[in-house]
Copies of this chain bind each other. A is one copy, B any other.
Amino acid sequence: MSERIWTAALLVIGDEILSGRTQDRNVAPVAAWLNLQGIRLGEVRMVPDDLDRIAEAVNVLRAGHDYLFTTGGIGPTHDDITVDAIARALGVAVVVHPKARALLESHYASRGGITEARLRMARVPEGAELIENRLSGAPGIRCGNIFILAGIPQVAALMLEALSGQLEGGRPMLSRTIGCWVPESEVADLLGQTERDHPGCQIGSYPFYKEGRAGANFVVRGVEAEAVAACLADLVARLDAAGYPVVAEGI
C-alpha cells in the first residue's frame, strides 16, 4: 500500500533576497508546478551569493531529495556565480555549452552583438543540458537531478513550462479549500478530530482578518481523490452542524 513519494528541494540564491530588497516570488509557483508533476516540495533554503555556501547547500539538498531546483544567479554580472558554485559542488569543470553560445549569439545579434559578459551565460557545469526559454536568450541548465532556473519569475516560469511532464513523479497532491467566517480557535477540536477520522488526508487551517472579521480557510490535502472528497464533505457537515456555514472554494 505504501507509495513512493517524490520530493524536491528548492535553493533560492541571492543577496537581494536575504537583504530584504527583493521579495522572493518563485517559491510558490515552483511548489505549485511540482505538485502537478507529482513531486512534493520538501524544503526550501535561501542563501547569499557565496560560492561555498551555495555549493554546500547544493550537496546537502541533492542528496536528500529526488530533485533540486535553484533560482537566481545565472545572469552576466560578477555576482552571478550559481554555475560556478554548482560545478564546484559536483566536482566538474565549467565549460561553454556550444548550443547556449549559439542561442546567445542569435538573441544578441540585433541587440549589440555577443560580448564576453554575455558569454558568461553560456557557461555550464560540464556534462549539463540546456533548458530553453523563449523570453531571454540565456537558457536554464540541467545537471542530472539539478535544475538551474533564472531568478526573474517570468523567465523561471517559462523554464518550468519547458520541463512539464519531463520528470518522473508520483501521484499529484490534491487539495480542496473551503472558507468559513469563524475564528479558527472555535473549531480547533473539530478540525483535529476530522483529520484523525480521515487517514491519508491532512487538514490545514489558515486564519485571516478581513473586513473587520475573523475567518479561516481550511485546506484538505491528499493523493486519493475520493478520500479528499469524503474528508471535505465531512468537514463541511461538521462546520455546518456547529453553526458555521461554509463558503465553497475558500474566502
Q: Is A63 an interface residue when CB atoms closer than 8 A count as contact?
A: no
- Docked complex: A162-177 residues within 8 A CB-CB of B: 173, 175, 177
> How near does chain B come to A67, taking the closest CB pair, in angstroms?
14
* Cα A189 to Cα B78 with chains together (Å): 8
28 contacting pairs across A/B (C-beta < 8 A): A16-B219, A17-B44, A18-B31, A19-B41, A19-B173, A19-B219, A21-B28, A21-B175, A21-B177, A21-B204, A21-B219, A22-B206, A23-B28, A24-B28, A43-B45, A43-B46, A43-B47, A45-B46, A76-B184, A76-B185, A77-B205, A78-B191, A78-B192, A78-B195, A79-B205, A115-B185, A117-B189, A152-B209
* Cα A12 to Cα B44 with chains together (Å): 9
By a CB distance below 8 angstroms, the chain B residues around A75 are 184-185, 205, 207
> How near does chain B come to A96, taking the closest CB pair, in angstroms?
15
By a CB distance below 8 angstroms, the chain B residues around A78 are 188, 191-192, 195, 203, 205
- Docked complex: A78-127 residues within 8 A CB-CB of B: 78-79, 108, 111-112, 115-118, 120-121
Contact with A25, one of B23, B30, B47 (Cβ below 8 angstroms): B23
* Cα A22 to Cα B217 with chains together (Å): 11
By a CB distance below 8 angstroms, the chain B residues around A200 are none
A188, B117: Cβ atoms under 8 Å? yes
The tally of residues in A whose CB lies under 8 Å from a CB in B reads 70
Report which residue of A21, A44, A152 has the largest number of chain B beta carbons within 10 angstroms of its beta carbon.
A21
A19, B175: Cβ atoms under 8 Å? yes
Q: Is A32 an interface residue when CB atoms closer than 8 A count as contact?
A: yes
By a CB distance below 8 angstroms, the chain B residues around A206 are 16, 21-22
Q: Is A199 an interface residue when CB atoms closer than 8 A count as contact?
A: no
> How near does chain B come to A90, taking the closest CB pair, in angstroms?
22
Closest to A206 in B: B16
> How near does chain B come to A21, taking the closest CB pair, in angstroms?
6
Complex interface bits, A183-217 against B, C-beta within 8 A gives 1, otherwise 0: 11110110110010000001111111100000000
